[in-house]
Structure 1
Amino acid sequence: MSPIEPGSVVWRDGTRTALLAFARRSRREAGGFVWLDDAGEPDPDKVLELWINARMTYVFSLAHLAGEPDALSYAVHGVRALSTLFHDGTHGGWYDAVDFDGVPGDTTKGCYGHAFVLLAAANASAAGVQGADDLLAEATLIHSQRFWDSTAERCFEEISADWSHVDDYRGANSNMHSVEAYLVTADVTGDTLWRDRAMAICELIIGTHARGHNWRIPEHYDHDWTPIPTYNLEQPADPFRPYGATPGHAFEWARLLLQLAAALKSPPTWMTDAAEALFAQAVLDTVSDDTPGLAYTTDWHGETIVGERFHWVIAEAVLAATALHAWTGKVLYSDLVDRWWSEIDTYFVDHETGAWRHELSPGMSPSTRTWRGKPDAYHAFNALILPDLPLAPSAALTLGQRS
């Protein structure tokens, strides 16, 4: 455990430096960022993943704006990989995964990965990364022309490589990360259309669907956005499409709602009410007085389904509590912030390597039921840098103005 108060500015600065040192080890000189194991070595059984490469590009772009030495070269490396290795030069867009020669195993185009490309491109553009403006131009075009469903006012989930076939499945997760990307894109480009789209997604998925399910968010839908509450019942621990409610996403949506509200001149009151309700239900379903950590999933009555504790869930919890405390001033939220930073320091931060343990058992020992290794710095990095910044404008603009 750290001798410095967990969650303090000094603690977060030191922890962020250590996290970035570990993340640097994912750089592959031939292109892209690799999946790291627990020790920080490349996992030989993992190919190059779009979401990891886009997230790393995002992280190092913001790190550069925050003054982190040599982060710019890593951001340039990421933009180059997204512009070449993962890019479909024939039909446009990006492949979800490619082998080390750049050959895709599955050519389906996914909204989840494309949302992170847009997020990476917008932040890299704000950071002045070489090639980022062109990447952002294509990413905005692809999202507008391919993934944005103007009828449903939400995003399609998966589309064939040549854009000729749209899969029937619809997902809240990819739409959530599209909201995140749209908020930054609106700030970086000055086009408020992206903020309008973010609002439409929030109104429908949170204002309608989450409200109608006692603030537990339906994650899975059919082609006309009818919830599928039993989706993946037989695969409850799926890393991207688990069965049931995902409290970590409730925390994440709560923060995004407040970031969107802060960007508006006159935010509607339902946004604050919804953020508090999402947070309250997630806390009720996951927080125990005598057990650390937060469960991955619950059923529709709040009973735990997958009790493993993921680093990203507690990272989003502490960010949501921080945002709600800043927005409302309520002491309840600051008390939870203190508790969760202590748990992060005690259980999740690997003080030997600097990375965060991605998955722990309900007893807080290492687990690999869903995740193995330490491939992702995105959630931890956000938890370590966003508390120092206002809810709006986005981090890239705020840091850019300070640099």
Structure 2
Amino acid sequence: MFWFNSIEHNRWLSACLQDLLDYGRKSEVKTGFACLDRDGEIDLEQPIQLYLTARMVHVFSLGVLLGVPGCRRLVEHGIRCLNQYFRDPVNGGWFDAIEHELDADGNAIPYPGRDDKRSYSHAFVLLGAASATAADRIGAHELMQDALRDSDLHWWDSQFGMVRESYNRDYSRCEDYRGINSNMHTAEAYMLVAQVTNEGEWLDRAMRILERVAEVSREYSWRLPEHFDADWKPLLGYNRENPQEAHRAYGSDVGHSFMFSRLILEARAMLKQSGKEEPEWMIPAATGMFERAREDAWRRDGAPGFAFTVDWDGKPVIRDRQAWVQFEAIGAAVTLLRVAVAEDAEAEEVEHYEHCYRAWIDFAYEHFLVRGGRIVHRLSPENKPLDLENQRLRDSVYHAVQAMLLPRLPLTPAFSVALAHGLLDKPLPEEPAHKKRFGGF
């Protein structure tokens, strides 16, 4: 029997998710949701960040739809903070980060050096607002419409079918750099918006992003370039001399390959559900990116765990294990397993993805998920925790929450819409008798 069909396994996933939501509550502050330190306390040395506050709106919207008490207030707190404190009242859009304290007039203070506008953060404003709309929270629909207008006005580049990376505060100067990370999360948000609004344009945009990603990844043996110039030409040597740069690391980030693999398959399911023909490139791209990332990064140091980045020959560059990569690998394995079952794949293929899921969720349980919902965010290549006092944590429970939900939901619709439609814990079809590993009577 598939683990996804096990009542006890789903109860375990639910318990983990409940712990993560409880842990996430600790991040609430007056102006949004803050970073937490390794002990689960508010980190006063880091600003209140737009992407994290918007992520938590998304996460707590899922909590609302799951029926978890207390989440409704947290969603509305996040929406109010995005509107009241993060909005730029002069130039429009949202500040990327603000100070913990307000000025004498009760207004937010943009964090020094972070008063710019970034499409990565904007993607989460759109995602959070769309999920809150699905959860029917006050102010959510208006926030989503504002974010869509901002996407049209500043971020979507119809020439290339991708989003731009960043602007200065008044949108007068656009950065020449283009990045895969911001486009990945924008595609995620567009796919959700398409389902919340029933407007196909947003899926069309997501498909343009996904197709370009598939094309460029295929050119490099399914390793995904991260960095590009303004004409979307890959910058393969970007940050080669500074490979540990946290936000724009040199090489290919295997976590992004796993997440794109999942998004491609979810977009394919959306197309099928709407009666449209899915392009032939989608399954080969999803499987190619998944297998390349798995082969390049899993157990490369003689111990379980994924290296964070690899070079263009597949050699690990940043060997630390990061929790979010593990959670995205779990999500990709889930989606590929569901597709394999739906497409009546050979037993060996089904068993391969099921084995990946079991091995990777075991590893997450043993190394990243701490009782009570806290996450160990980084491990050494020897799988020793690296969440030390001098290392700033900048993640949230977002990746982990989605990894705990994915095995309990169908490929489509997206998380919040699926929960709103009551699609939690619908079992996978059982294996045909001739493919069962045991018995078959």
TM-score band, normalised by shorter chain: over 0.9
Equivalent pair of 2:166/2:175 in contact (CA under 8 Å): yes
Deviation of 1:368 (Å) = 4.4
Aligned to 1:135: 143
Give the aligned residue type for 2:238. Answer: Y
Aligned to 2:259: 252
TM-score, normalised to structure 2, is: 0.87
Alpha-carbon distance in 2 for matches of 1:27, 1:107:
22
Aligned to 2:270: 263
Alpha-carbon distance in 2 for matches of 1:111, 1:374:
17
| Structure 2 stretches lacking a partner, 5+ long | 1-5, 103-107, 342-349, 424-441
Give the aligned residue type for 1:252. Answer: M
Alpha-carbon distance in 1 for matches of 2:115, 2:323:
30
Equivalent pair of 1:312/1:380 in contact (CA under 8 Å): yes
Deviation of 1:7 (Å) = 9.2
Correspondence 1:363-402 to 2 at 5 A: 363-368=382-387, 372-373=392-393, 375-402=395-422
Give the aligned residue type for 1:380. Answer: A
Q: Following TM superposition, where does structure 1 have runs of at least 4 consecutive aligned residues deviating by more than 4 angstroms?
A: 368-371
Deviation of 1:384 (Å) = 0.6
Q: Work out the percentage of aligned pairs sharing the same amino acid.
A: 38
Aligned to 2:132: 124
Per the alignment, in what secondary structure is the counterpart of residue 12 of structure 2? Answer: helix
Correspondence 1:26-41 to 2 at 5 A: 26-28=27-29, 30-41=30-41
Does 1:147 find its partner at 2:155?
A: yes
Per the alignment, in what secondary structure is the counterpart of residue 40 of structure 1? Answer: coil
Aligned to 2:374: 355
Alpha-carbon distance in 2 for matches of 1:92, 1:261:
35
Equivalent pair of 2:37/2:43 in contact (CA under 8 Å): yes
Aligned to 1:220: 227
Aligned to 1:9: 10
Does 1:189 find its partner at 2:208?
A: no
Residue by residue over 1:135-194, the C-alpha shift from the partner in whole angstroms, topping out at 9 and shown as x without a partner, is 101100001121000111111101122222211000011001000000000001111100
RMSD: 1.7
Aligned to 1:287: 298
Give the aligned residue type for 1:320. Answer: A
Alpha-carbon distance in 2 for matches of 1:371, 1:131:
36
Range 373-382 or range 194-203, more displaced: 373-382
Give the aligned residue type for 2:297. Answer: T
Equivalent pair of 2:307/2:321 in contact (CA under 8 Å): yes
Deviation of 1:386 (Å) = 1.9
Aligned to 1:230: 237
Equivalent pair of 2:334/2:406 in contact (CA under 8 Å): no
Residue by residue over 1:87-129, the C-alpha shift from the partner in whole angstroms, topping out at 9 and shown as x without a partner, is 1122211111111222112221100000010000100111111
Equivalent pair of 2:31/2:48 in contact (CA under 8 Å): no
Alpha-carbon distance in 1 for matches of 2:386, 2:173:
38
Alpha-carbon distance in 2 for matches of 1:402, 1:239:
39
Give the aligned residue type for 1:362. Answer: P
Per the alignment, in what secondary structure is the counterpart of residue 33 of structure 2? Answer: coil
Correspondence 1:297-316 to 2 at 5 A: 297-316=309-328
Larger Rg: 2
Equivalent pair of 2:50/2:121 in contact (CA under 8 Å): yes
Aligned to 1:85: 85
Give the aligned residue type for 1:355. Answer: R
Equivalent pair of 1:40/1:374 in contact (CA under 8 Å): no
Q: Quickly say closer, same or farther: Cα 1:174–1:297, change in 2 above 3 A.
A: same
Equivalent pair of 2:27/2:35 in contact (CA under 8 Å): yes
| Structure 1 stretches lacking a partner, 5+ long | none
Q: Quickly say closer, same or farther: Cα 1:319–1:339, change in 2 above 3 A.
A: same
Q: Quickly say closer, same or farther: Cα 1:149–1:7, change in 2 above 3 A.
A: farther
